[in-house]
Amino acid sequence: MFRKFMVVGLIFSCVLLSSVAYAIEGRYVGVLGGVNLLQKEHKKQHKISFKTGYAAGVNAGYGFCNNWRVEGEFLYRRNNIKTFHFHHNKVRCGYRRTLSWMVNGLYDFDFCYPVMPHLGIGLGADCSSLKIHFPCRHVKNYNTWFAAQAIAGFSWLVCDYTELSLDYRYHWSLSHQDNNTFKLAVKVCF
């Protein structure tokens, strides 16, 4: 039994250590998607809580030879309303939708391991809409706000031109809607 564990451990370590990660250099494009957690909204007149939603988008960027990357990102987020309290009324139908255009700066920590951590920040704009379905009518609210985000994650080089990454993004905007997004991305270098 001990030999089987040793053989499995040896094979596993050879697979993990066989592909050493390195920071992306040059142009890349990516597709991303994941889970979006939207903070509760508390104001004087109303309180809104949201269900777990989703995020999907694309990005394109350039990796410099000193481990820095700059990328443009377009991300769509949607969360359905869990509960909406307005004075003494309670509604459970509606959603918040956000389109984000961001410019991100990231740094890849190249430790010569298969998995490479990265940190970054981003600045941009959010176009946000809130739609609530009352029994008698529908309410829509559209706004465009300044937005910023902090990024932390890990990347794994699948092959010479393809990278898989897992990120956490704390996304903040002037609308006071804080998003916590966990996303998986596939990037292709060229």
Residue 7 lies in a domain: no
Give the pLDDT mean for 149-165.
93
Q: What percent of the chain has pLDDT over 90?
A: 56
Residue 16 has pLDDT above 70, yes or no: no
Residue 21 lies in a domain: no
Tokens of 168: 């956490």
Q: Which residues span the domain enclosing 142?
A: 26-40+50-83+90-189
Type of residue at 125: A
Give the pLDDT mean for 12-24.
51
State how many domains the chain has.
Answer: 1
Residue 72 lies in a domain: yes
CB-CB contact of 139 with 131 (8 Å): yes
Residue 147 lies in a domain: yes
**CA-wise closest residue to 71 among 116, 124, 126:** 124
Residue 59 lies in a domain: yes
94-108 and 179-189 as β-strands: parallel, antiparallel, unpaired? unpaired
Residue 10 lies in a domain: no
Residue 148 lies in a domain: yes
Give the residue with greater pLDDT, 189 vs 137: 189
Q: What is the CATH number of the domain that holds 171?
A: 2.40.160.20
Residue 18 has pLDDT above 70, yes or no: no
CB-CB contact of 108 with 24 (8 Å): yes
Residue 4 lies in a domain: no
